[in-house]
Amino acid sequence: MCPTKTSKRPSRPRCIDDKHLEKCVSVSAYLFPKIQNELVVFLKNNTNTFAWSTEDMKGISLELTSHELNVDPTFKPRKQKHRKLGHERATSVRDEVDRLLKIGSIREVKYPNFLANLVVVKNKNGKGRVCVDFTDLNKACPQG
């Protein structure tokens, strides 16, 4: 990932794929220049081992990527009230869900105990990013 302005440690963005300039990594400025260069050469030689997007993760078993939540058994399951989305936002949600279903990152759950609404958040580029409102679920899961 390329560094943001909020990075605490100084780092230098380095492109590791000349064909895809968006594939860059942050290399700590605290490393000696020789080690930085060796690291970048190593990463360039192994770019095909990285998952740059969810589409790159086909074939990974759901047993490996799934987990169960530590839900407080005394907490009553709660389904959020359905929120209607506008046409543009509903289209963004439908497209994202279809994409994730197609690559196998998500699956349909029949009889969910908790049902959380999808929320569309606008990115700087004007496109919508689909998020899940886990407010009630977060209350039910003890931290620690």
pLDDT tens-place string over residues 4-34? 444 455 777 888 888 888 888 888 888 899 9
pLDDT band per the 50, 70, 90 thresholds, residue 118: confident
- Same-domain check for residues 83 and 131: yes
Closest CA to 52 of 25, 27, 28: 25
Is residue 2 situated within a structural domain?
A: no
Q: 123 pairs with which residues across the strands?
A: none
As for how many domains the chain has, the answer is 2
- Same-domain check for residues 73 and 28: no
Mean pLDDT along residues 122-136: 80
Please answer whether residues 116 and 141 qualify as being in contact, where contact means their C-beta atoms are separated by less than 8 angstroms.
no
- Same-domain check for residues 40 and 105: no
Prediction pTM value: 0.45
Domain range for 109: 60-140
pLDDT of 13 reads 82
